[in-house]
């Protein structure tokens, strides 16, 4: 599997661009491009967008962890989750940086967790949850056709309807269709989630009630 730096180097060479020329077009230092291509640094979402624009390709092509010479094939389900995980991590990294006017967030504090909307479009949103006590989450809205939850740290269990498997840190759990699975986060856990279509942060916080707490405490 290839990393984003290798993909950038591949397409930069394909366009006959030097690192200095790419850096000038993207408005960053040449050393920064060198570090990215060596997989020593991960570019922010904003820089990744600029690089993709200069190279004349979609950003998803750069963040895909696959050989760019094999783009004709369709993405497998695992590759889709890998791509989604990479995009979400990039958005979280940019949104948590300081001094960036594009990184404005919306935060709501509930009884069991703090929810921060890191990125929002009409078609989807990305939310960071930081749990202050145990709580169930997932499937908060009937309008959400697809959900993807990534465990950043702590403990998360699957509820279906009782306590099930524990998800390891770094794993990704997709909830979609007519299933009934929910998830349970323990105190100190951090989870980053994608909802499509967008679910307002206020709705996510308000749906955590006594029943959800009792369901989670069973884990």
List the CATH number of the domain containing 113: 2.60.120.10
Same domain, yes or no, for 176 and 124?
yes
pTM score: 0.56
Same domain, yes or no, for 89 and 110?
no
Confidence of residue 121 (pLDDT cuts 50, 70, 90): confident
Confidence of residue 124 (pLDDT cuts 50, 70, 90): confident
> Is beta strand 156-159 parallel, antiparallel or unpaired with respect to 182-185?
antiparallel
pLDDT digits (tens, 9 = 90+) for 178-195: 567 889 999 999 998 888
195, 184, 185, 106: which is closest to 142 by C-alpha? Answer: 195
Confidence of residue 100 (pLDDT cuts 50, 70, 90): very low
133 domain-assigned: yes
Q: Which domain holds residue 123?
A: 105-217
Average pLDDT of the residues of the chain: 76
Per-residue model confidence (pLDDT) at position 214? 36
| Across 55-83, average pLDDT | 60
156 domain-assigned: yes
157, 213, 148, 147: which is closest to 184 by C-alpha? Answer: 157
Same domain, yes or no, for 111 and 88?
no
Same domain, yes or no, for 65 and 120?
no
100 domain-assigned: no
């Amino acid at each position: 599997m290839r990393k984003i730096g290798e993909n950038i180097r591949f397409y930069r060479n394909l366009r006959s661009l030097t690192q200095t020329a790419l850096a000038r077009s993207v408005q960053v230092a040449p050393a920064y491009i060198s570090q990215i291509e060596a997989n020593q640094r991960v570019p922010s979402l904003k820089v990744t967008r600029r690089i993709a624009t200069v190279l004349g390709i979609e950003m998803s092509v750069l963040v895909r962890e696959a050989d760019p010479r094999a783009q004709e094939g369709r993405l497998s389900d695992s590759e889709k989750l890998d791509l989604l995980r990479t995009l979400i991590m990039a958005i979280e990294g940019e949104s948590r940086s300081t001094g960036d006017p594009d990184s404005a967030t919306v935060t709501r504090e509930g009884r069991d967790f703090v929810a921060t909307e890191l990125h929002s479009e009409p078609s989807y949103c990305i939310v960071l949850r930081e749990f202050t006590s145990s709580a169930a989450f997932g499937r908060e809205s009937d309008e959400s056709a697809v959900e993807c939850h990534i465990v950043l740290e702590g403990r998360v269990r699957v509820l279906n309807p009782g306590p099930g498997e524990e998800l390891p840190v770094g794993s990704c759990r997709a909830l979609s269709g007519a299933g009934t699975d929910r998830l349970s986060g323990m105190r100190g856990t951090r989870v980053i989630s994608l909802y499509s279509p967008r679910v307002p942060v206020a709705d996510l916080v308000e749906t955590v009630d006594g029943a959800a707490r009792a369901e989670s405490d069973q884990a």
